[in-house]
Amino acid sequence: MLNRILRRVFLRGAGVAMALPALDCMTPTVTSSAAETTEARRMVAINFELSFHPPNLIPATGGRDYELTPYLEPLANLRDDFTFISGTSHPEVDGGHAAHKSWLTGAPHPGAANFKNSISIDQLAAKQIGLQTRFAYMALGGGGLSVSANGVQVPAHGYASKHFEAMFLEGRPDKKKRQIERLREGRSVLDTVLDSAQRMQSRVSQQDRQKLDEYFTAVREAEQQLHKSEQWQHKPKPKVDVTPPQDIRDGNDIINRARQLYDVMYLSILTDSTRLITYSVGDSNAVATLPGVSMNYHDLSHHGQDPEKLKQLGIIEAEHVKLFGDFIRRLKETTEGDSNLLDRSMVLMGSHMHSGGHDNRNLPIILAGGGFRHGQHLAFNQNDNDPLANLYVSMLQRLGMNVNKFSSSTGTLRGLET
82 phi/psi in degrees, rounded to 5: -145, 160
Q: Given CA atoms 164, 226, 36, 407 in this order, what sign does their dihedral have?
A: negative
- CB of 117 closer than 8 Å to CB of 95: no
Task: List the one residue out of 368, 361, 366 whose CA is nearest residue 387.
Answer: 361
CA dist., res. 15 & res. 291, Å (int) = 57
CA dist., res. 276 & res. 281, Å (int) = 17
SS3 257: helix
CA end-to-end span of the chain: 54
**Would you give the distance in Å from CA 68 to the centre of its chain?**
28
CB environment 42-67: b (16+ within 10 A), e (fewer): bbbbbbbbbbbbbebbbbeebeeebe
Task: List the one residue out of 384, 362, 349, 364 whose CA is nearest residue 56.
Answer: 364
Q: Given CA atoms 58, 67, 415, 78 in this order, what sign does their dihedral have?
A: negative
Q: What angle do CA 355, 155, 363 make, to 5 degrees?
A: 20
Residue pLDDT tens, the chain, 418 long: 333 433 334 444 443 444 444 454 544 443 333 334 458 999 999 999 999 999 999 999 999 999 999 999 999 999 999 999 999 999 999 999 999 999 999 999 999 999 999 999 999 999 999 989 989 999 999 878 999 998 999 999 899 998 988 888 765 566 655 654 554 555 455 455 556 666 666 676 766 766 666 655 665 565 556 556 556 666 788 988 889 999 999 999 999 999 999 999 999 999 999 999 999 999 999 999 999 999 999 999 999 999 999 999 999 999 999 999 999 999 999 999 999 999 999 999 999 999 999 999 999 999 999 999 999 999 999 999 999 999 999 999 999 999 999 999 999 999 999 8
Give kind and range of the element (H or E) at residue 126. Answer: helix 121-129
CA dist., res. 278 & res. 49, Å (int) = 13
pTM score: 0.81
Domains and CATH numbers, the chain: 1-27+173-236 (no CATH), 41-169+241-398 (3.40.720)
Q: What is the pLDDT of residue 136?
A: 93
Cβ partners under 8 Å of residue 144, min gap 6:
100, 101, 153, 156, 280
17 phi/psi in degrees, rounded to 5: -100, 140
